[in-house]
Amino acid sequence: MKLILNNIVVFLFIFICIKGLAAKDFYANYKIELGPLNLGTIEWTLMIEKNNYTTSMILRDRGVFSKIYSFRGEYSSKGKIINDIFISSKYTQYWKTKKKTRQVEIIFKDKKISSLVLKPIEKERPRIDHLNIKNLNDPLSSFLNILLVDNTDFKTIDGRRLYKMSPELKKKSGDIYSIKIIIKDYINIWADHERNDLQFILTTQDVSKNKYFPTMIKIKNKGLTFALTKI
């Protein structure tokens, strides 16, 4: 579950101009399901004022499943909109379960990492020179770029992993839009293995009802398909 939201992240495929969103706030809530299980909820917020943006996601456990696996996650990104592109200046991540708490803070400057703080502190050495990689963005900003303006120029970093979000399949049927995003060029910064648990994200959007948030998001992770349904 943690990796799902690290990477992401995520969520609509429509042709709109970001300038038309200036000085507006948008909110959506989703339920998280795995088959018949109701796992929890996600609250997604996008705030845009002139050329500045802030987007966040808050995850909470729910129902019977919370007694087995309780969790809370908070993910936030802020930055500038330049030529309609979301460019991150700061990304934070907080993930808490009964057994562990993890935090990430990334400061970006000129599309590179200026500062990276992990809690608990990572004891392993980095496998790549992540501080000198160019054209980086956080997961939330990368997702917005793909789904709002069809931009795939950035590599994505969440503090522990580096990867490319690649839209492989786009479909349109009337007012229904869908996009399938594949995770490519995946690298674990602090681990020897290159196991990528996240396989793809599939979003569905009915633009006749809502221009800014998808009605359904499906995520394939560790062989399981999670469904996020707008409520």
User: Mind listing the pLDDT tens digit for each residue in 81-95?
Assistant: 999 999 999 999 999
Nearest to 156 by CA among 131, 183, 120, 193: 183
The pLDDT of residue 204 is 92
205 and 215 Cβ atoms separated by less than 8 Å: yes
Residue 30: which H helix or E strand, with range?
strand 24-34
Average pLDDT over residues 163-191: 91
Return the number of other C-beta atoms located less than 10 Å from residue 169's C-beta: 11
How many other β-carbons are positioned within 10 Å of the β-carbon of residue 125?
7
pLDDT at 96 over 90: yes
Query: How crowded is the C-beta side of 164, counted as CA atoms within 13 Å?
Result: 10
Least confident segment among 108-117, 190-199, 219-228? 190-199
Residue 211 pLDDT exceeds 70: no
Q: Which pair of tokens denotes residue 46?
A: 């996008």
For 177, phi and psi rounded to 5 degrees? -115, 145
Phi, psi of 63 (to 5 degrees): 70, -155
CB atoms within 10 A of CB 48: 20
**Peptide bond preceding 120: is omega within 30 degrees of 0, i.e. cis?**
yes
Q: What is the mean pLDDT of residues 152-171?
A: 92
d(CA 69, CA 71): 7
Q: How large a percentage of the chain has pLDDT more than 90?
A: 65
Per DSSP, the three-state class of 208 is coil
- State percent of the chain over pLDDT 70: 87
Tell whether the model's pLDDT for residue 192 goes beyond 90.
no
Average pLDDT over residues 137-152: 91
Of 105-109, 130-134, 184-188, 210-214, least confident by mean pLDDT is: 210-214
Question: pLDDT-based confidence at 7, cuts 50/70/90?
Answer: very low
- Residue range 183-199: average pLDDT? 83
The domain in which residue 196 lies consists of 2-230
Q: Is the pLDDT of residue 13 over 50?
A: no
Q: Which two tokens stand for residue 180?
A: 């399938």
Distance CA 218, CA 4 (A): 11
pLDDT, residue 14, reads 32
The predicted model scores a pTM of 0.85
pLDDT at 19 over 90: no
Please state the domain count of the chain.
1
Model confidence at 198, pLDDT cuts 50, 70, 90, reads: confident
Query: Which residue did the predictor score with more confidence, 199 or 56?
Result: 56
Looking at residue 18, what is its pLDDT?
44
